[in-house]
Structure 1
C-alpha cells in the first residue's frame, strides 16, 4: 500500500529561509548590534534541510518497499547545489586573481579545493576559530556549513535505507535514537573540543534529525487544529527570537544552546504542515518568499564579498561601506538566482541524467585543476610587475614556523622548552615572552643579544599578551595557562635577570576576558588589561627581575604589501595607509597609562613609534620605501637588523 506524503510546495519554508539568511548576513556584515547571534541562521537551515530530505527519502522508501533511488537523489542534489557553487567559486577566483597577492591567492586556491570536495568544515576546524582568530582571512569560511549539509546528504540516504532494512518496525524509534546520540556527542564535546563540535557533521546531525522528526509527527497527526497550529508557530517564533536576542558569541555553541533555534524552527515548520498559522501566512508573503528563494545564492556570495571588501578597505571598512556591500550582495544574488540557479533546475534528471552528471564532473575538474595550478605556481606571481612583485613578497616576509618556541601550555616548562637566542656559549640571562609580534621580533632580539655577547630564551603564543591573570575569548584558557607556566619558570630560574614582554597589546581593546567562555565588553577588556599589566609588573619586580617592555607598533590602515603592490603610486598609497601620531596615541592610550602607572618598576621601554613616527605627525609604514610590515601590523622579518639597532639605541644607558 502506498503512503501519500504529498511534496507540495511550502512557501512558508522559503519565508523561513529568508529569516535564516538575513540573520547570517546581518551577523557577518556587523550591521546591527542585535545581530550578534546571527550564526543561528545556519541551525535554521539545518532543520529545514532535515525536514525536506527526510520527507523525500522516507516517502520514497515507503512506496518502494524500502528501496531508494540513490542516483536520482544525488543527481537532484547536484542539480540544486552545484551550479551556483561553481559560479561563486569562479567569481571568487577571478576576484582573487586581480585583488590578492600570490600568498593569499594560494590560500584561496586551497580553500576552493576543500570546498569542492565538501571537506571545508574539516579544513577550517583544523585552522580557524569562527568567532575570532583568523576568521577574517578565510574567503570561503562560510562553506563549512555547506560541507556539513553535503556530508549529511551523502550519508543520510544510506542511513534511511539501513533503518528500513533492519529496523523497519521501529524506524522512528531508531531514527530518534540516532539523533539523541548525536546530541549527546554535541553536549560532551562542546566543552572538550569546541571547534570540532561546531564544525563537524556527527555533532550537528541531530539538528537535521529534529527536522526529520517533523515528518513523523505530521504523519501521525493527520490534521492539527487551527489553535494547535497557531500555538506551535507562535511558540516557535518566540523561541527563535529569544535565542537571537539573548545569545551572543559568549554562548558555548552548539551545546544545549542550539536547542532553542532547532526546536523553534521545528515548531514553525510543523505548524505549517496542516492548518497554517498567522506566522505561516506572514512567512508566505511575497517578499520573504522571494528572499528565501535567493537564500542559497545570498549565502554563497555574501562572505567572499564581505572579506574582499575588508581586505581592500582595511580600517576604512566602516558601517556605511558594510551596508553598501550588504546591498551589493543582494544584487549579485538576484543575478545568480535568475541566470544560474533557476535555469539549471529546468534540466530534467529523468531525461538528462548524464547531462547533469557530466556537467558536475566538468565543473569540478575545471575548478580543481585551476586551483591546483595556482597552488603549484605559488599564487601566479607573474600577474604582477617586477616592482609590485617585490612589494608583494613582503607579505611572506615572516619568520619561519617555530613550533619549538610554542610549547604545550598545559605542562610545566623546562629550559629545553624555550628557544635560545643570542650567544649560545653564554648562560641565558634574558627572556622574551609574547605573542606573534614577539615572534616577528625574535631575530632582532637574537641579533641584538649576539652583539652584546649575551644569551637569552624566547617563547611565544599567537594572540596571547604576555600577562598573568587574563584569558582570550573562546580559547579555553590556554593563554592564561601559557603565561602562568612561563612566569613560573621565570620566577624559579635565578639566571634569568632580564624579562622582555613583547606584544601588539591591542587585544586590550576587544579580546581580553577573565573567563574564556564569555566575551567581555570593550571597557571591561581594558580594565582587565590594566589590572593584569600592573599585577605582572609587580610580581616580576618583586622577584628581582629587570623588566623591559616592547611597545605597540603603530601599524597601518590596511595590508601594507598588498596595498602598495596594487597602488599606481606606492608612495602616495603609503601616506594613505599611515596613522597619524595622534591616532596612534588615541589607539594605545590605555597602554601608556598602564606603563606610566608602573614606570618606577620598569627598567626600560623599546618604543617602535619613536622610530616610525619621528616627525610627530605621521607614522610611516615603509622603511627605505619598502614595507615595514608583512601585513597591517607585524614587522617584516627582513628588517630584523634595523630593529636590533633600534633596540640598542633605545636601551643604551639603561642596562
Structure 2
C-alpha cells in the first residue's frame, strides 16, 4: 500500500443514493418540526449511518485493491467534506447565541460547541441526559451527536480494515464479527441504559457495518461486471441466492421491485410506527437499517429507485442533506428558546423553509468550492486550524460561565430563575461524613446534621432556601440527600421505561439509604420528605414510571406500592423518635417559566407571557390521586406534619409561577433559587417548631391555613 497517494478511489455516482439521503433527512426534519405526526422520524439518522458505511467502505476497499489507499488523502477528504458547513453552522449559532441566550444557556452552548468541534458531543449528551437535564429542544447543537459517532467510526474503521488487509485476515469475517458484537451490545444495552445505548458508538457501529458488509459483498459479487457497484444486468443480491435459483434466468425487474418495495416499506413503517418512548436503537433499529440495505441492494435500475429516488427534487434534497441536517435543528431550537414554548406551526414552517435556503446556499457557496477546488492540502490544514479555534472559543464561553458581561442588565435578573449554585464545600462536607451515599449529598455546616431533607430533585431548591433561612441559627444544620427521579421512600424502587434495570438497582439502594441515614443518625431530630409525587402516580406521555417494592414483587400497581412505601417510611422514622414533615409538591407547569420574564435579551414575540400561572382546576385534577393516597396513609400517623407547598403559590383561581416580578420556577417542575427561598420562608417556622397558623397571613391567596392534624387538606380547602 502506498503511504501517500494523489487520489483515493471514489465510487460511481448513484442518484438513487442521494434520493435515499433525501428520505432520511426529510424524516428527521419532519420529526423535529412535527413530532406528533412523524413519531419515528429519528430513524433517518440510522439510514444515514447505513449510507455512510456503504460509501466510505466502497472507497477504502477499492483503493486497497488498487494498492492506492492513503490515510492522509482519506482524512483530508473527510475534513473538506465535513468541516466547512459545520464550522459555518457552529459559528452562526455562537453569534446568534451572543444576542439571544442567557448566561447559563450560552455556557451550555459553548460546551456543546467545544464538544462538537472535537466530535465527542455524543459522550457529553450521554452524561447530561436524565431527569434533571435541560430539554433537548433547548440545545441548538444537540444534533451533532450523530456526526460525532460517524467521525469516531472513521477513526476506527480504516485502521481496522487496513490492518486486516495487511495481515490477510478475511475482511468479511472481520466486518461480520464487529457487526455482530456491536449489535449484541446494542440489544443488551437497551435493557440497562437506553440513554447510553442511544449515544454510544459501540452500540451504533453495527448500523454502519451493515453498510460496510453490503459494500464488501457488492464489490465482490460485481467484480466481473462492468459496473463495480451494481450490475447493469442484474441486481447484486442475485449472486447470493441458492445455486439452483441463481443458475436460472433471473426475473430481474421483479426482484429489483421486490427488494426496493420491501426496503421502502420498512423505512416508512419505522418512521410512523416507532416513537421516542420505545427503547432505541435495540431491535427496533433493524427496520430502517434493513430497509436502507434493501434499497441500496436493489440497484439504481429498480423502478422505485429510478422513478422515486432518482427524480430531480429528491436528488437535490439528497445533495444538500448534510447542510440541511446541520441548519434545521439550530433554527427550530432557537425558535423554541426565543418563544419560551413550542413555536407556532407558522414559525416552525418558516424555520424549516429557511433551513432549506441556507442549506442550498451553504452547498453552493461554501461546500462545493472548498470540496472540489484546488489546493486541497492547504485547505484541509486551514480547516483543521479553524475547527480547533472554534472549539477553543466554545470552551472559553463554557469556562467563563456563559460570558455574562454580554448582557450586564441580566446579571441581577438571571438569578431569579436559575437554580442556586450550591457551593462545592457543601458537597465535600457531606461526602466526608457520608462517603457511601450514592446520590447528591449536601451539608450546610461542618458539624453534625440536625435536620435531614430527603427526596428527589425537588429537594435541591428547598435545601438551598432552608440553608439560607437557617444560616444564622447555630443549632440548625441542614443535611440534603437526593436522587433525581427516584421515589424517596423506604424499600421501594422507581424507574422508567427507558432504563429499567439500571435505575431499579440504583433506586432500591439509594432511596433506602437516604431514609436509613436520616433515621439512624443520632443527631438528626427532624426529617423533611420532599418529592414530585405526581411523577410516580400519574402516567407520563412519553415516560412511564414503575414503582416496585423490593420485598413484594407481586405488587405491580404504582398506587398500592406508593401507599405501602409511604406507610413503611413514616413508621420507620417515627419509631426512631424523629419528627417528620411531609411536603406536598407545588404545581407542575405546562409552559416554560422563562416566558414570564421580560429580561430575555431577544425574543420572537414582543411581550412576555400575560398570565404566568396554570389554572387551579388543572392543578387539582393532576394532583388529586396522589393526595388522596397520602391522606389515607396520614390518617394513621397524626404525629406527621404536612406542609403543602402549593398552598403558598395558589389562590382561588390560579397557581402562580411568578410573584412580585420574580420567577419562582427554574423549569416546568423545579423551583428556582427565588422559589426555593420563598417556600423556605414558610417552611422554616414549621421546622423551628412554630405554629403553622402563624404564617397564614403571609401566604399567596386565601385558600385556608395549612393543617398539622392527621387529615390531609386538599388544595381547595377553605
2:650 match: 613
The residue number in structure 1 matching 2:697 is: none
- Residues 477-492 of structure 1: matches in 2 within 5 Å? 477=504, 478-487=506-515
- For 2:539 and 2:256, locate their aligned partners in 1 and report how far apart those are by CA, in whole Å: 48
User: 2:134, 2:286 → 1: CA distance?
Assistant: 26
How far the C-alpha of 1:360 sits from its partner, in A, is 0.8
Q: Counterpart in 2 of 1:199?
A: 199
Show the counterpart of 1:523.
none
Secondary structure (helix, strand or coil) at the match of 2:592 reads coil
Which among 285, 288, 303 is matched to residue 258 of structure 1?
Answer: 285
Q: What is residue 147 of structure 1 aligned with on the other side?
A: 148
Once residues 389 and 23 of structure 1 are traced to their aligned partners in structure 2, the CA distance between those partners, rounded to angstroms, is 41
Which of 458, 467, 470 in structure 2 is aligned with 1:437?
458
Give the distance between the partners of 1:452 and 1:556, measured in 2 at CA. 40
State the match for 2:546 in structure 1. Answer: 514
Deviation readout 1:59-88 (Å, 9 max, x if unpaired): 22212x2x3133332232222222211121
In the alignment, does 2:478 pair up with 1:474? no
2:691 aligned with 1:652:
yes
Q: 1:236 aligns with which of 252, 263, 266?
A: 263
In structure 2, do the counterparts of structure 1 residues 459 and 283 end up closer, same or farther at CA, with 3 Å as the change threshold? same
Asked if structure 1 preserves the Cα contact closer than 8 Å seen for 2:596 and 2:658, the reply is: no
The equivalent residue for 1:634 is 670
Q: Is 1:249 matched up with 2:271? A: no
- Is 1:52 the counterpart of 2:55? The answer is yes
In terms of mean alpha carbon deviation, does 500-509 or 100-109 score higher?
Answer: 500-509
**1:131, distance to aligned residue in structure 2 (A):** 13
CA distance in 2, matches of 1:364, 1:422: 45
Counting matched residue pairs gives: 626
Corresponding residue for residue 520 of structure 1: none
SS in 1 for 2:279: coil
Structure 2 gap ranges (5+): 1-7, 223-233, 236-251, 549-555, 575-579, 693-707, 710-718
Pick from 564, 568, 571 the counterpart of residue 598 of structure 2. Answer: 564
Q: Which runs of 5+ in 1 are unaligned?
A: 517-526
1:459 paired to 2:481: yes
Cα pair distance change 1:304/1:562, threshold 3 Å: farther
* TM-score for the superposition, normalised by structure 2: 0.76
Q: Does 1:300 align with 2:326?
A: yes
Partner of 2:159: 158
After superposition, give the CA deviation of every residue in 1:498-520 in whole Å (9 maximum; x if it has no partner): 6533134453452342289xxxx
- 1:96 Cα deviation (Å)? 1.0
The offset of 1:262, in angstroms, is 1.7
Pairing 1:309-348 to 2, within 5 Å after superposition: 309-314=335-340, 316-317=341-342, 321=344, 324-340=347-363, 343-347=366-370
State the Cα distance separating 1:148 from its structure 2 match. Answer: 0.9
Q: Who is 1:521 aligned against? A: none
**Closer/same/farther in 2, CA of residues 473 and 432 from structure 1, 3 Å limit:** farther
SS of structure 2 residue aligned to 1:379: coil
Indicate how the Cα distance of structure 1 residues 530 and 22 shifts in structure 2: closer, same or farther if over 3 A, else same. Answer: farther
CA distance in 1, matches of 2:86, 2:421: 34
Measured against aligned partners, the alpha-carbon deviations of 1:393-424 in whole angstroms (never above 9, x if no partner) come to 342534346667999xxx9979x996567995
User: Shift of the alpha carbon at 1:104?
Assistant: 1.6
RMSD over aligned CA atoms reads 4.0
What is the distance in 1 between the residues matched to 2:394 and 2:440?
39
Q: Secondary structure at the match of 2:374?
A: coil
* TM-score in terms of structure 1 length: 0.82
What pairs with 1:551-630 in structure 2 (closer than 5 Å)? 551-553=585-587, 557-560=591-594, 563-566=597-600, 573=608, 575-598=610-633, 600-601=635-636, 603-614=640-651, 616-630=652-666
- Cα distance, 1:587 vs structure 2: 4.5
Q: Give the Å deviation of 1:646.
A: 0.5
Counterpart in the other structure of 1:86: 87
Aligned-residue offset at 1:597? 4.7
Task: Give 1:573 shift.
Answer: 3.7
Aligned to 1:21: 25
User: Aligned partners of 2:10 and 2:572: how far apart in 1?
Assistant: 76
The answer to which of 325-334 and 201-210 deviates more is: 325-334
Compare CA radii of gyration and give the structure with the larger one.
2
Question: 2:584 is matched with which residue: 530, 533, 550?
Answer: 550
Cα distance in 2 between the residues matched to 1:552 and 1:455 = 25
Q: How has the CA–CA distance of structure 1 residues 594 and 214 changed in structure 2, closer, same or farther, with 3 Å as cutoff?
A: same
Partner secondary structure for residue 462 of structure 1: coil
